[in-house]
Structure 1
Amino acid sequence: MSTIEPNRTDNESQALLPIRSVSQITGVNPITLRAWERRYDLIRPTRTPAGHRLYSQQDIRTIQRIQELAESGMGFAQIALLLDQESQEPSPRPQKEPGPAPVNTPARSLLDRVIRAAMDLDPTELRAAEATALMWLTPEDYLRDVLIEALAQLEARISWPDRDLGLIWLSEYVKGRADWVADAPGHAAAPVVVVDNLVPGRAFSAGGLRLFSALHDDRFHARLLPTGLNDAQREQMVRRWGGKAWIRLGAGESPRPAPRRAGARVFWCDLPLLQPRDGDEAVNFMQRWRQVIEDDIQLCRNQVADALGLSDASPRQTRH
């Protein structure tokens, strides 16, 4: 396995690449690269003082070797053993220098596969991408880093055939995966926080689903209300779940506590919706949107924590 030595030369140091550059070179999604490191110890990039990952040329060669072995059907535990054996060989097998993937190489990125599946309304490819992802990602990681991110990127795209249908289709699928995460054991003692989408004519947006993901941790048990319910049915579901906080996602409402309803404290959260952009404008817009929505999500989360006496609840750490 690749190990970064502290006494590398200046030329070697200059060759260190950030994770996004390595992803472009190898075709492996940054999410997958982090999973290979975190869960299987297959690669060992160095870290900057700020905690950002940097990869050497040897790391890139190791990543390409992992791709080769994984595509042959070898499991990751076996890959780890083989890499250890190869690293101890006196004359390692020749490795070709890394370079851009050929234009006819299929995309290996999970994110790209989910985006393409949604644009094509292809449930088979979506299920195949999920089966691949869950080989090394937890359901929570897959939900947050792949599915919700794919929905956000598609919301920011200006147009494609059946855009509105594709967004609704993917949103409903992502909500189903969120319900799966919410129903997993381990949150029985945490107060239930219900997230309710009240934006007319829209399924859950990427912002609303990001709020769910930010809330569903060791301090809260987040649940998503089904769309299309009337007020009486909403209250019945909140009571059935024993909700302690009820977050209502609307338009034009700032986050603020409201009187209790169905036994739960009610909060209104106004999360900005992504508006379609094109080209470089889309990239810049999404960066600004992320900054704004993360602030809004943290504000809403803090208000819920204060109301439930959990003001010391800390947000998830940002990953690099």
Structure 2
Amino acid sequence: MPSHDTSLRPFRDSTDLLGSGELLRRRADEDGYLFFRQLLPRADVERVRRAISEVLVTEGSLVDAESGAVDRAHVDAIPADLMRQDIGISESAYVAVQRVQDMHRLPHHPALLALYRDLFDDEVFVHPRHIVRAMTGHPALRPTPAHQDFPLIQGTQNTWTAWFPLADTPLERGPLSVLRGSHRQGYIPIAPAEGAGLIEAILCDEDDWVGGAFEAGDVLTFPSLLVHRAVPASARDTIRLSLDIRFQPVSEPVEERSLSNHSDHSWEEIYEGWQVQDVQYYWRDDAPALSPWNDELLQPGRRIC
């Protein structure tokens, strides 16, 4: 079963490879991930953090938008069955966060599109199902277990996640770590688990975990077969805001759920009152072909170590 040793080797910085698809693909094949310092302008990331934080102040989860200080009494009083335990806040608060227009625009940033265009050597499709993690320290929350994204999103195995926090995030605030080289093992059988996704990959003696602190603007990206997990957080009085955004070549298939909103509300509800239309329903004209959902990928399995 997965090790819970939190010792980490540092990320290998691939910033100097930007602009070279061949070198990016070579590094990605070797390590299974790519890490970039300041790929996104800090001001653009801060704009999204501020907009989401203001929503959470209004909703009651935060007492201060700038510092990210959590209203522990408010959050801890929310019954577990009303929490989005994969997200860190209540379901109603998450719907409000999903309505933030700037959050939906950031995944289309030219720096991200250029990266994936070079990496794929193909045109890029941005999944509209963006995930905002707002980890608050609610008693029901558990760290994200070691898992692969593929059983949860399916479609092409060449779907890549961009993970990045919306503020400077030291290890004590629980950023993501990755198991270097694990993408080469293919699909790994799973077991039930607590935490986001409710599954964990059944690991043997794999222990080449890589991670570190993030600054706003840093981006970690990896394909859907790479095993990753959250570093257990020790700081619980401030929120950890982060985004999971997914990209894939437009020529490869996508599973239909990846075209829905992550709050499971309709797009019409999410877009109500928006002032801009450039990122609304963009996938209706040029989405990849659809692939079927495979329930067997989420059935508990066995792995002989």
Higher relative contact order (CA 8 A, sep 6+): 2
Q: Could you say which structure has the larger radius of gyration?
A: 1
TM-score, normalisation: structure 1: 0.24
Q: Going by fraction, where is strand more abundant, 1 or 2?
A: 2
**Structure with greater helix share of residues:** 1
TM-score, scaled relative to structure 2: 0.25
